[in-house]
Amino acid sequence: MEAQATATVKEALAALYHHPDDAIRTAADRWLQEFQHTLDAWQVADSLLHDESSNLETLIFCSQTLRSKVQRDFEELPSEAFRSLQDSLYVLLKKFNKGPQKVRTQICIAIAALAVHVPVEDWGAGGIVNWLSDEMKTHPEFIPGFLELLIVLPQETSSYKIAARPERRRQFEIDLCSSANVAIDLLTACMAIDQLKEQVLEGFSSWLRFCHGISASELASHPLVHLALSSLNSGQFLEAAVNVTSELIHATVSHGAGTMAEQVPLIQILVPHIMGLKEQLKDPSKDEEDVKAIARLYADMGESYVDLIATGSDDSIQIVNALLEVTSLLEFAISSMTFNFWHCLKRNLIRRDSDVSYGLDVTVEIEKNRRLQIFRPKFETLVSLVSFRVEYPEDYHTFSEEDRKDFRHVRYAVSDVLLDATEVLGGDSTLKLLSTKLAQAYGSCNNEQNSKWQPVEATLFCIQAIARSVSIEEREILPQIMSLLPCLPQHEQLLQTVCLTIGAFSKWIDAAPAELSILPPLVDILNKGMSTSEDTAAAASMAFKYICEDCRTKFSGSLDGLFQIYHIAISGVGGYKVSSEDSLHLVEALSVIITTLPPESASRALELICQPVINPLQEFIQQGDQVLQRVPARHLTVHIDRLSSIFSNVKQPEVVAEAVYRYWPTLKSIFDQRAWDTRTMESICRSCKFAVRTCGRFMGMTIGAMLEEIQTLYQQHKQSCFLYLSSEVIKIFGSDPSCAGYLTSLIQILFSHTVQLLRTIQDFTARPDIADDCYLLASRCIRYCPDLFIPTETFQRLVDCAMAGITIHHREACKSILSFLSDVIDLPNSSGGGQYREVINTIILQRGTTLTRIMIAALTGALPSGRLEEVSYVLLSLSRAFGEDMLNWARESINLIPPQALTDAERLRFFNIISDATSGSSLHNITDRFGEISDICRRNKTVQDLVQSALRPQDLTVTVVRQQM
């Protein structure tokens, strides 16, 4: 059997790497992946690794297979197999001592994983590190392989690929900490071998976080530290030396490192060595990767010692100057490493809890101002250093979409840095700095010999990025900038940024003195932007929205002009290049202005804004039912989405309610003829939702017809958006007694048809949108009209339906179901919910055993670990509401989990968590403790399958015991 499997593996590898047919290579890859999960993989991989005839491809595959088997499937082996596995891996480590490197690394990781799995005594006195020490002394010829294992050991403690129990992982980390001195001594002994120095440094950086017992003063004089610092000037070992130095920096500020005063001896030798690298930053002979490594070191130093730097001492200013040099480097990937430092420094300088550091309240402001004054010039320099980076390259038009995405990322990052600078300098001061650059750029732009628009655009981009930090009272710079905007060249990218700048300063424009007459020429610019290109039109539309929102009172005499712009953009004629998506900004812009009008004027204005939207829909309707049914959805939704924006943004409930009533026949025709079309129904339901939200009780004339439409169409077409719209109706009208008849019928019909659709977990998986919106609606009913919902048989059926769907993996649907269940369980203890206690207790008590078992299955693997908090809350609610009953249900379910998955001690711990939840532990505490049990039950696929096979959450059926009269 083994020989046959071995031969098949060789054939599959040969096919994978050498067969010309893609389909055969894909099939071979799939077979090999499946093979790695089999029990045979242990023996075959081990055998082929020991086989001298195995080629490199076979060795790499088998070493990876053996490594993954040790990591995740170690429990497949009988306990007595440990020793033979250890011996085999040891032989392999010696065999591949000199390579191939990839194979040796996999063997080292496998040995490290084995060490995580088994107790320290299995390696003899002192554990694996002492065992390794003895082997290195006994067999010095194998030191390279042993040294790599020493490097890998601390790295694997944080690897969750290793399917070890949490307490075993914690114990392994404790064992490594206790062996750290032995490891450091081994590394120190290997320093003398030149060809091993890089490995020694790698090992030292791996072990530093375990060296809790070595003081800063000891480290400061340690030979390994001196090796690392001296190697910073060595091109050969620079990367490894930087890694060590970074770890040393982090060690001085890590939790448990002691006071900063205790770390001073180490800091005093680290900082000068790092500062000594400054000249290398601009050395043209240095490799870019080396410069990047040095820059990373400076960034680490700055971020770690930001509290010391913020004191403003002479030494700290030298560090800041060095970080400015890093920021000034042309390569953005390098210079941007400092950006987080500037953010941290800014937070330190302006933080409100400064009195903790500075002393009494009287001295707080004085000290804070002193520090700000010291660092102002540095942040002014920072503004100059980053502002040029947003300049469009000359060859931007040749950029791929990926390159353009990278350029946008640079702009976002620079924007964040500028905002940090404004918090130190003040928005007005930063604006003044940038305005000087703008004047220089504009002067050059008008120079016939150098008419570049890019510097002007870059500076304007920076100015609009800090717009919200500039005071609306600013009167020195912004009037000049606003008067300059109409004079700038009409280049596409520049015009786009000009439009964005107008939008960004909309609040300032509103506050500007009337005599400046700023607004008309700016609106002309936006008009130009809407007719230049799609990108400029998008920016202009957005800016137009902001201008209308913030300057709405200034447009009272200009409505005709605004409606003309709106009609041209919406109609698609007249030269505007506004996309249907961006046109929504214009719809929103006019809508907010209508909100400011008196009701009579608002009603007429609303009709004007709705006409270009309603008329095309009515034209489709007038062409007959067959035409309306065949028209592409996008031809309808583009108009319906605009209607949604109008209903959402015109905040005049009575006026909007009249419009909804007036246009309801049009909407009803679309409902009736397109109910099969998900896209159109989602759009029209969204429009109705905003109408309900804006109009509230003023929609009384229309709401009955709307609810009747929803009920009828949902029975026929089962569109989830009908449930979504119903949730909004319940929220607004749920507590209105006059609507009780409508709503009772709505609830009964919608839920009774939904539970017919969702009978099994497969049904839930096939219709996650229905499940999501159904249980959002159900939770709304509990909140707003429980008296219409809780006493009904439909409510009980919906609880049963929820239990069938708990294990759906769709995130939103799952969360809605779990929220519904917790709402049900919590209702009796809520304000006004006591009257439902008997009904809910009866329902949950009849289903408690099954519900608890499903929830425990969800916790232990039936649901992704990302649902842990929601699942924990339902279990917590059950525990608090049903006490002793819940403990019995939980005990019964936990006892089903086999001992191969949970030990008796772990089973008891699981039960105790639920017991503590019953007695009042917090959700945070319970979730953390459940998380550990969850990890144990998910530690590998075999265990997870074993747990789920025992609990069988998807096979459970619920038998409802009717309450006896």
Amino acid 248 reads: L
Nearest one of 411, 389, 385, 288 to 328, comparing CA atoms: 385
Residue 742 has a pLDDT of 87
Position 62 pLDDT exceeds 50: yes
Residue 962 has a pLDDT of 36
Does residue 577 sit in helix, strand or coil? coil
Position 322 pLDDT exceeds 70: yes
Nearest one of 836, 850, 883, 875 to 957, comparing CA atoms: 850
Amino acid 842 reads: T
Asked if residue 811 lies in contact with residue 866, where contact means CB atoms within 8 angstroms, the answer is yes
- Predicted confidence band at 561 (pLDDT cuts at 50, 70, 90)? confident
Asked if residue 434 lies in contact with residue 463, where contact means CB atoms within 8 angstroms, the answer is yes
Q: Tell me what percent of the residues of the chain surpass a pLDDT of 90.
A: 81
Asked if residue 2 lies in contact with residue 40, where contact means CB atoms within 8 angstroms, the answer is yes
Nearest one of 532, 603, 524, 605 to 565, comparing CA atoms: 524
Place of tokens 């075993």: 168
**Euclidean distance between CA atoms 177 and 115, whole angstroms:** 14
Does residue 797 sit in helix, strand or coil? helix
Question: What's the predicted TM-score (pTM) here?
Answer: 0.88
Within 13 A of 660's CA, how many CA atoms are on the CB side?
A: 33
- DSSP 8-state code for residue 518: -
* Span of 114-128, 417-431, 810-824, 865-879 with lowest mean pLDDT: 114-128
Q: What tens digit of pLDDT does each residue of 432-488 get?
A: 999 999 999 998 776 655 678 999 999 999 999 999 999 999 999 999 999 999 999
218-230 b/e with 16+ CB inside 10 Å = b? ebbebebbebbbe
737-773 b/e with 16+ CB inside 10 Å = b? eebeebbeebbbbbbebbbeebeebebbeebbbbbbb
Position 277 pLDDT exceeds 50: yes
Say how many C-beta atoms besides its own lie within 10 A of residue 82's C-beta.
15
Mention every residue, 6+ apart, whose C-beta is less than 8 A from residue 775.
802, 813, 816, 817, 819, 820
| Three-point CA angle 669, 673, 675, nearest 5° | 110
Tokens of 139: 């067999």
413-430 b/e with 16+ CB inside 10 Å = b? bbbbbbbbbbbbbbbbbb
Mention every residue, 6+ apart, whose C-beta is less than 8 A from residue 632.
none
Residue 3 has a pLDDT of 83
Amino acid 196 reads: L
Nearest one of 167, 114, 175 to 906, comparing CA atoms: 167
Amino acid 382 reads: L
pLDDT (mean) for 856-860:
97
Q: What is each CA distance from 461 to 426, 487, 502, 526, in whole angstroms? A: 18, 17, 11, 16
**Euclidean distance between CA atoms 544 and 523, whole angstroms:** 8
Position 207 pLDDT exceeds 80: yes
**Euclidean distance between CA atoms 431 and 928, whole angstroms:** 48
Within 13 A of 275's CA, how many CA atoms are on the CB side?
A: 13
**Euclidean distance between CA atoms 942 and 504, whole angstroms:** 57
- Longest CA–CA span in the chain (Å) reads 98
Residue 700 has a pLDDT of 82
Residue 556 has a pLDDT of 67
Asked if residue 718 lies in contact with residue 770, where contact means CB atoms within 8 angstroms, the answer is yes
Tokens of 687: 């429009």
- DSSP 8-state code for residue 78: -
pLDDT (mean) for 174-198:
92
- Predicted confidence band at 965 (pLDDT cuts at 50, 70, 90)? very low
**Euclidean distance between CA atoms 30 and 358, whole angstroms:** 64
Q: Tell me what percent of the residues of the chain surpass a pLDDT of 70.
A: 97
Q: What tens digit of pLDDT does each residue of 363-393 get?
A: 788 888 999 999 999 999 999 999 999 999 9
Question: Which of residues 27 and 574 earns the better pLDDT score?
Answer: 27
pLDDT (mean) for 524-533:
94
Nearest one of 146, 156, 198 to 176, comparing CA atoms: 156
Position 718 pLDDT exceeds 70: yes
pLDDT (mean) for 757-776:
95
- Predicted confidence band at 958 (pLDDT cuts at 50, 70, 90)? very low
Q: Rounded to 5 degrees, what are φ and ψ at 959?
A: -105, 115
Say how many C-beta atoms besides its own lie within 10 A of residue 487's C-beta.
10
**Euclidean distance between CA atoms 828 and 838, whole angstroms:** 9
Residue 148 has a pLDDT of 95
Residue 455 has a pLDDT of 94
Place of tokens 């041209």: 568
| Three-point CA angle 192, 193, 196, nearest 5° | 125
Position 262 pLDDT exceeds 80: yes
ω into 100 cis (within 30 of 0): yes
Place of tokens 């989602």: 682
Residue 365 has a pLDDT of 85
Question: Which of residues 125 and 171 earns the better pLDDT score?
Answer: 171
Residue 892 CA, distance from chain mean position: 38
CA 296, 302, 303, 304 dihedral sign is positive
Tokens of 653: 């409930």
**Euclidean distance between CA atoms 420 and 479, whole angstroms:** 24
**Euclidean distance between CA atoms 52 and 64, whole angstroms:** 18
Asked if residue 116 lies in contact with residue 168, where contact means CB atoms within 8 angstroms, the answer is yes
Mean pLDDT across the chain, nearest whole number?
A: 92
- Predicted confidence band at 957 (pLDDT cuts at 50, 70, 90)? low
Alpha helices in 734-867 (DSSP H): 740-757, 761-766, 768-784, 786-789, 793-805, 811-826, 837-857
Place of tokens 């300088």: 349
How far is the first Cα of the chain from the last one, in angstroms, to the nearest whole number? 66
| Three-point CA angle 99, 102, 105, nearest 5° | 90
Position 585 pLDDT exceeds 90: yes
Asked if residue 819 lies in contact with residue 772, where contact means CB atoms within 8 angstroms, the answer is no
- Predicted confidence band at 256 (pLDDT cuts at 50, 70, 90)? low
Asked if residue 761 lies in contact with residue 807, where contact means CB atoms within 8 angstroms, the answer is yes
Mention every residue, 6+ apart, whose C-beta is less than 8 A from residue 42.
66, 69, 73, 76, 77
- DSSP 8-state code for residue 54: -
pLDDT (mean) for 262-278:
93
Asked if residue 187 lies in contact with residue 150, where contact means CB atoms within 8 angstroms, the answer is yes
| Three-point CA angle 485, 490, 494, nearest 5° | 70
267-300 b/e with 16+ CB inside 10 Å = b? bebbbebbeebeebbeeeebeeebbbbbbbbbbb
Asked if residue 851 lies in contact with residue 803, where contact means CB atoms within 8 angstroms, the answer is yes
Q: What tens digit of pLDDT does each residue of 208-243 get?
A: 988 877 888 999 999 999 999 999 987 789 999 999
